[in-house]
């Protein structure tokens, strides 16, 4: 492998050239020769040397970006209120909140008692308005539960995987990852001087932990060698891990599991799921040492979840399911195992072709319906009649909560108490910083508790957002969300083509909803437009939108994105030499495929932890999460048709001898979801085959974070620095023409 010449006297840095070591992959009679599969050996000196050489080359090729990167970084810092606190959330006898302090990367987690000046009646809506305090001033009776800065000392990476206080408020269970590989270590801490925390650690667990109501047990999940959450354990505090009870084990490699509880805390729950099928097991929380029972045995293709409600004095289950209802419906039944089909139960929310039902939250006095309509997340509320005690409650209607912006994101926020008389919810958009409201479901009165403060005189009137539509190859209309400054909009109206960043994802039914970003202002204020293509494979337009962008119709995701790019160009908003595409993870697959399909439409492609070698990965069931992915992509190991289809769009396998846009690939060495080897191989093959990859105006760059995971670096300052680097590259690429 050659290393880049980055000496001061070099005319221009030369990129690393990876050694070709042919590796033959054969399935279904098809042979693919992979010259760079040797990079999969993470600990091999040659692999480390190659990644370090790529980092050195990227540093050299972007050295001139440092002033712009520094400027963007300082802009982000100058707009963020670094010493701040979250809106306190009431749970039991405490208000819980987190603090950030200027100069420190991680949050402090704190609480104050619901007493003295913070005391309030549980039934009084006014009593649920949190304390008004200055972020830098300690509250009377404040207790520091954990300081992330202290726990992160000595580690290049730090992330919380669990932070859960026992129901009596006396003990904290928390779990951390200091490598970025999403393998957590669980620990306990006493929050009451009369309680002694067990001196024990449980390592190698998945994220999340659930307390029993009596505080004697915690439930946690472990994973198999492919990092699939597969086993639920019950741990009694004060005993050793060897004494833990195996509560539930899922042997089917296409399923994963999680553990939690209903909002009412009446039932502990184990959720078992594949990409297309789910199953729920329950246990009365009053009997945490008992046996879980199944609500309804799994049926392939049927997904459901279960919420507990008390209706007319009776315990009821509210079940969201998709049996015969692609966009889901909600039914109700007595709390307990369900006999027969969900379709035989009483319907609470009927199926609609134009509305995707996402679930229901049950509180003591009201229900909250989450749904998606016109590519926007929304919610509605239904009051419950507290006077009905005979079990014959007649449900009312869900009343939508309305907003006055064209594009927005809304939904229930932190509502820890089932008995709450108000609903805490969040709202925001591309132009409106995130807000937290308290809503009285009886009067409809909204109380603004907090709006994200943007320092430096931010004025939302200086920016505009709107919805546009592209037309796909098959005639399908694809929504596009746009945001830009008023000045940029005026330039477009005057006929100018502006630099634009087009973002896409399009997998797992995940929706890319309108939200505010302080960092994005650095793009918008430099005259860029920001667009999101809501392509098929995502969930923005309902379940069929997702179904039309997965498995054997996955190419719709890519052609939809191309249609969005063409629409932005044909409408006069931008031009190919001013358009940059961005996608991360499965969105990295999207932009990688688009680079092969329509490279002429883009000046640059930014691929973050990109899934660009999907066929190789999905053929390896021993890799993390592979088998459970077969429902999303298909099973190429056992299906010739799936193999050929995935081979037809795999970014790595379809690189051609043609000009490509400038490419920036960002990855992390310890990522367990999309291994670093995928973008590393992709970049090496682009350099070998592409006719433009070694040019100075369209370089192919790889940055590998050597101490990070799938979410990138940890610590807010480090994240801001990473964003600043990526945005600096985007600005230069979109304005170079």
Give pLDDT, residue 133: 61
123 belongs to a structural domain = no
> Among candidates 207, 212, 290, 214, which has minimal Cα distance to 256?
207
Model confidence at 180: pLDDT above 90: no
Instruction: Clarify whether residues 606 and 513 are in a common domain.
Output: yes
Instruction: Clarify whether residues 187 and 62 are in a common domain.
Output: no
* CA angle, 478 then 482 then 483, to 5°: 170
Tell me which of 321, 650, 671, 690 is the catalytic residue: 671
Instruction: Clarify whether residues 515 and 628 are in a common domain.
Output: yes
Half-sphere CA count of 559, side-chain side, radius 13 A? 15
Assess whether 710 carries a catalytic annotation. Answer: yes
Give pLDDT, residue 15: 94
Instruction: Clarify whether residues 63 and 168 are in a common domain.
Output: no
Model confidence at 550: pLDDT above 90: yes
* Residue 221 near residue 259 (C-beta atoms within 8 A): yes
User: What is the three-class DSSP state of 75?
Assistant: helix
Model confidence at 388: pLDDT above 60: no
pLDDT winner (highest mean) among 131-135, 221-225, 694-698: 221-225
Tell me which of 585, 617, 668, 690 is the catalytic residue: 585
Model confidence at 528: pLDDT above 70: yes
How many CB atoms lie under 10 A from the CB of residue 243?
A: 10
* Residue 511 near residue 410 (C-beta atoms within 8 A): no
* Weakest mean pLDDT among 84-88, 211-215, 520-524, 653-657: 84-88
CA distance to 279, 358, 431, per residue, from 516 (Å): 36, 23, 6
Model confidence at 219: pLDDT above 90: yes
Instruction: Clarify whether residues 177 and 41 are in a common domain.
Output: no
610 belongs to a structural domain = yes
Dump pLDDT digits (tens) for 266-309: 999 999 999 999 999 999 999 999 999 999 999 999 999 999 99
- All residues at 6 or more sequence positions from 445 whose CB lies less than 8 Å from its CB, including other chains: 439
425 belongs to a structural domain = no
Assess whether 585 carries a catalytic annotation. Answer: yes
120 — pLDDT class (breaks 50, 70, 90): low
Model confidence at 206: pLDDT above 50: yes
163 belongs to a structural domain = yes
Model confidence at 455: pLDDT above 80: yes
Rounded average pLDDT over 174-201: 91
Instruction: Clarify whether residues 39 and 165 are in a common domain.
Output: no
Number of domains in the chain: 2
Instruction: Kindly state the tokens that stand for 735.
Output: 């304005």
DSSP 8-state secondary structure symbol assigned to residue 487: H
Model confidence at 387: pLDDT above 70: no
Give pLDDT, residue 104: 93
How many CB atoms lie under 10 A from the CB of residue 102?
A: 12
Instruction: Clarify whether residues 72 and 181 are in a common domain.
Output: no
Rounded average pLDDT over 674-690: 96
Give dist(CA 162, CA 186) in Å, integer: 8
Q: What is 645-705 written as a DSSP string?
A: HHHHH-TGGG--SS---EEEEEEETT-SSS-THHHHHHHHHHHHH-SSTTSSSS-EEEEEE
The pTM of the whole model exceeds 0.85: yes
* Residue 579 near residue 567 (C-beta atoms within 8 A): no
Give pLDDT, residue 416: 87
Residues 366-376: b if buried by 16+ CB within 10 A, e if exposed? bbbbbbbeebb
The percentage of the chain sitting over the pLDDT mark of 90, rounded to a whole number, equals: 84
Rounded average pLDDT over 680-691: 96
Instruction: Clarify whether residues 547 and 659 are in a common domain.
Output: yes
Tell me which of 109, 321, 534, 710 is the catalytic residue: 710
Rounded average pLDDT over 591-607: 98
The CATH number assigned to the domain holding 189 equals 2.130.10.120
225 belongs to a structural domain = yes
Give dist(CA 20, CA 137) in Å, integer: 60
Q: What is the mean pLDDT of the chain?
A: 93
Instruction: Clarify whether residues 698 and 556 are in a common domain.
Output: yes
Instruction: Clarify whether residues 552 and 664 are in a common domain.
Output: yes
Half-sphere CA count of 501, side-chain side, radius 13 A? 24
User: What is the three-class DSSP state of 561?
Assistant: helix
364 belongs to a structural domain = no
Instruction: Kindly state the tokens that stand for 374.
Output: 């016109």
Model confidence at 377: pLDDT above 90: yes
Dump pLDDT digits (tens) for 304-321: 999 999 988 899 999 999
The percentage of the chain sitting over the pLDDT mark of 70, rounded to a whole number, equals: 95
The CATH number assigned to the domain holding 674 equals 3.40.50.1820
**Secondary structure (H, E, C), 142-174:** CEEEEEHHHHHCCCCCCEEEEEEECCCCCEEEE
Domain boundary among 284, 301, 318: 301
706 belongs to a structural domain = yes
Domain boundary among 266, 281, 301: 301
Domain boundary among 301, 336, 351: 301
* Residue 189 near residue 204 (C-beta atoms within 8 A): no
Instruction: Clarify whether residues 508 and 650 are in a common domain.
Output: yes
Instruction: Kindly state the tokens that stand for 257.
Output: 């599991």
* Residue 332 near residue 295 (C-beta atoms within 8 A): no
Domain span at 603: 23-79+464-735
313 belongs to a structural domain = no
Model confidence at 9: pLDDT above 60: no
**What are the DSSP E strand ranges found in 206-352?**
210-211, 217-223, 229-236, 245-249, 256-261, 267-273, 278-284, 293-294, 304-311, 314-321, 329-334, 346-349
């Amino acid at each position: 492998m050659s290393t880049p010449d980055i000496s001061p006297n070099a005319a221009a840095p030369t990129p690393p050239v990876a050694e070709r070591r042919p590796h033959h992959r054969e399935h279904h009679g098809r042979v693919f020769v992979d010259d760079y599969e040797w990079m999969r050996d993470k600990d091999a000196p040659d692999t480390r040397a190659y990644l370090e050489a790529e980092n050195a080359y990227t540093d050299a090729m972007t050295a001139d970006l440092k002033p712009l990167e520094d400027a963007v970084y300082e802009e982000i810092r100058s707009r963020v209120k670094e010493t701040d606190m979250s809106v306190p959330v009431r749970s039991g006898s405490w208000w819980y909140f987190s603090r950030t302090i200027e100069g420190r990367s991680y949050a402090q987690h704190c609480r104050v008692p619901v007493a003295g000046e913070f005391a309030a009646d549980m039934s009084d809506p006014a009593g649920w308005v949190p304390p008004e305090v200055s972020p830098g001033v300690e509250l009377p009776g404040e207790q520091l539960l954990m300081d992330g800065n202290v726990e992160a000392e000595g580690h290049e990476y730090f992330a919380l995987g669990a932070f859960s206080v026992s129901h009596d408020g006396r003990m904290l269970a928390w779990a951390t990852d200091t490598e970025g590989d999403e393998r957590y270590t669980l620990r306990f801490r006493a929050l009451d001087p009369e309680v002694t925390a067990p001196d024990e650690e449980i390592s190698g667990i998945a994220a999340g932990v659930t307390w029993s109501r009596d505080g004697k047990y915690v439930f946690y999940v472990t994973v198999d060698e492919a990092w699939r959450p597969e086993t639920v354990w019950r741990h009694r505090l004060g005993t050793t891990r060897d004494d833990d009870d195996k509560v539930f084990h899922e042997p089917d490699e296409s399923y994963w599991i999680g553990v939690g509880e209903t909002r009412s805390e009446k039932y502990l729950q184990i959720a078992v799921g594949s990409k297309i099928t789910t199953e729920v097991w329950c246990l009365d929380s009053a009997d945490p040492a008992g046996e879980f029972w199944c609500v309804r045995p799994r049926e392939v293709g049927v997904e459901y979840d279960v919420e507990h409600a008390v209706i007319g004095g009776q315990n009821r289950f509210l079940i969201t399911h998709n049996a015969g209802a692609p966009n889901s419906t909600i039914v109700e039944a007595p709390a307990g195992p369900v006999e027969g089909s969900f379709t035989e139960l009483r319907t609470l929310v009927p199926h609609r072709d134009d509305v995707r039902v996402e679930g229901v939250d049950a509180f003591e006095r009201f229900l909250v319906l989450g749904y998606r309509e016109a590519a926007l997340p929304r919610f509605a509320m239904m009051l419950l009649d507290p006077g009905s005690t005979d079990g014959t409650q007649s449900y009312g209607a869900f009343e939508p909560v309305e907003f006055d912006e064209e594009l927005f994101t809304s939904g229930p926020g932190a509502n820890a108490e089932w008995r709450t008389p108000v609903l805490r919810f969040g709202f925001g958009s591309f132009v409106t910083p995130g807000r937290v409201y308290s809503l009285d479901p009886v009067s409809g009165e909204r109380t603004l508790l907090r709006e994200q403060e943007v320092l430096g005189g931010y004025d939302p009137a200086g920016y505009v957002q709107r919805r546009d539509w592209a037309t796909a190859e098959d005639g399908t209309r694809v929504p596009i969300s746009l945001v830009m400054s008023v000045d940029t909009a005026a330039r477009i109206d005057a006929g100018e083509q502006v630099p634009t960043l087009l973002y896409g994802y399009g997998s797992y039914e995940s929706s890319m909803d309108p939200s505010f970003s302080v960092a994005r202002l650095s793009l918008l204020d430099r005259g860029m437009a920001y667009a999101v293509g809501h392509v098929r494979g995502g969930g923005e337009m309902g379940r069929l939108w997702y179904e039309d962008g997965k498995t054997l119709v996955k190419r719709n995701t890519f052609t939809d994105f191309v249609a969005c790019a063409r629409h932005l160009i044909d409408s006069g908003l931008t031009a190919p030499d001013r358009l940059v595409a961005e996608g991360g993870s499965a969105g990295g697959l999207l932009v990688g495929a688009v680079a092969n399909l329509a490279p002429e439409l883009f000046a640059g492609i930014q691929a973050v932890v990109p899934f660009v070698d999907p066929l190789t990965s999905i053929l390896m069931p021993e890799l993390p999460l592979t088998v459970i992915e077969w429902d999303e992509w298909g099973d190429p190991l056992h299906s010739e048709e799936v193999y050929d289809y995935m081979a037809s769009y795999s970014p790595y396998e379809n690189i051609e001898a043609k000009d490509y846009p400038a490419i920036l690939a960002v990855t992390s060495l310890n990522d367990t979801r999309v291994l670093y080897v995928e973008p590393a191989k992709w970049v090496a093959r682009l350099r070998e085959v592409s006719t433009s990859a070694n040019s100075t105006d369209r370089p192919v760059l790889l940055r590998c974070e050597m101490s990070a995971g799938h979410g990138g670096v940890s610590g807010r300052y480090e994240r801001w620095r990473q964003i600043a680097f990526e945005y600096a590259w985007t600005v230069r690429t979109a304005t170079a023409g």
